[in-house]
């Protein structure tokens, strides 16, 4: 599809968007603009570590690193929350280290809390993409050093890739992925900002049990897998998906992990933003219709 082509129409298609409500609005808006009925089904959530001492120590020392590497919106929110708990702002703790973001959403979240982003991949917005654009660089002294706060189940792609280049990378667990909802005392704070003017509430919110019933009963036409963890949770619930359900993945890592579980993927978003997701849903639905 070229920029001048009309966006694929999704009228009459019911899409289950497997993402937390506060992160679903922009994707729901784009799917809704194209005519889809959007159901929000949060399957996973995120919690702070029960013991944040190691994370806090690394955050206090962040200014001594050449680079701080941020690979998710959740990580940014954790660091901002812990910086506040320590009596600082995140920009103060990170300066003068250079900051790299994995993609546009992470960059926007960093900028929202006042952190200037020095590097973000333009094309492949993944750990592989970030690794490909990080420069060899000339650190302030000695071997390049990077701080990598991330999910406790994050792949080792970035740390190992940089270590192969001779970097010293301190990876630290910043949060745990859990079934929705997170424990109230460990929940990661959502930002207190107004929703964008084009935000859109999904047409309904389903529990995991309602999702399973809707998929099996034919009430849901397509699902959007928004992370490897979501793919794992869906597979644990459903095993194989019914043949009529179109499946779209937010990116290659999610698609690969879903495929390893045996989940069929009909389309993968070329970019992880709302338009890329909506295009992938349209492609997945078209693929399923051709098979009928």
Q: What's the whole-number average pLDDT of the chain?
A: 91
**pTM attached to this predicted model:** 0.85
Amino acid 143: pLDDT: 82
Alpha-carbon dihedral of residues 158, 162, 167, 171, nearest 10 degrees?
10
Q: Is the pLDDT of residue 218 over 90?
A: yes
Q: Say what the pLDDT of residue 200 is.
A: 52
Question: Coil, strand, or helix at residue 216?
Answer: helix
Whether 225 shows a pLDDT value over 90: the answer reads: yes
Taking the C-alpha atoms of residue 144 and residue 212, their distance in angstroms, rounded to an integer, is: 48
Q: How far is CA 197 from CA 25, 26, 154, 193, in A?
A: 11, 10, 33, 12
Total residue length of the chain:
292
- The domains found in the chain, sorted by start residue, are 14-43+192-291 (3.40.50.10090), 47-179 (3.40.50.10090)
- Whether pLDDT at 216 is above 60: yes
Amino acid 193: pLDDT: 47
- 14 has pLDDT over 80: yes
Please determine, for residue 194, whether its predicted confidence score (pLDDT) is greater than 70: no
d(CA 39, CA 167): 44
Ranking 19-23, 141-145, 230-234 by mean pLDDT, the lowest is 141-145
pLDDT of residue 135: 79
The pLDDT of 215-228, averaged and rounded, is: 96
- Residue bearing the bigger pLDDT, 140 or 170: 170
């Amino acid at each position: 599809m070229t920029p001048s082509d009309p966006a694929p129409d999704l009228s009459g298609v019911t899409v289950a968007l497997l993402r937390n409500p506060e992160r679903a609005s922009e994707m729901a808006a784009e799917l809704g603009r194209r005519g889809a009925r959007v159901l929000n089904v949060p399957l996973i959530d995120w919690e702070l570590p029960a013991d944040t001492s190691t994370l806090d120590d690394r955050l206090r020392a962040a200014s001594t690193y050449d680079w701080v590497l941020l690979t998710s919106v959740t990580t940014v929110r954790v660091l901002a929350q812990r910086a506040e708990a320590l009596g600082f702002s995140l920009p103060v703790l990170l300066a003068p280290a250079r900051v790299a973001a994995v993609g546009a959403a992470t960059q926007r979240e960093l900028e929202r809390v006042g952190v200037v982003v020095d590097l973000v991949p333009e094309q492949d917005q993944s750990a592989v993409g970030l690794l490909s654009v990080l420069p060899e660089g000339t650190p302030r002294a000695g071997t390049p050093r990077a701080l990598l706060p991330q999910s406790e189940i994050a792949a080792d792609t970035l740390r190992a890739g940089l270590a192969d280049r001779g970097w010293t990378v301190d990876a630290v667990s910043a949060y745990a992925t859990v079934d929705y909802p997170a424990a109230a005392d460990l929940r990661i704070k959502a930002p207190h900002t107004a929703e964008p003017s084009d935000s859109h509430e999904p047409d309904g919110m389903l529990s995991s049990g309602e999702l399973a019933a809707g998929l099996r009963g034919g009430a849901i036409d397509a699902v959007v897998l928004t992370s490897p963890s979501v793919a794992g949770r869906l597979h644990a619930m459903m095993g194989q998906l019914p043949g009529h359900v179109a499946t779209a993945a937010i990116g290659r890592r999610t698609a690969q992990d879903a495929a390893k579980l045996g989940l069929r993927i009909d389309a993968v978003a070329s970019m992880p933003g709302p338009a890329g997701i909506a295009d992938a849903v349209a492609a997945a639905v078209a693929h399923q219709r051709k098979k009928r």
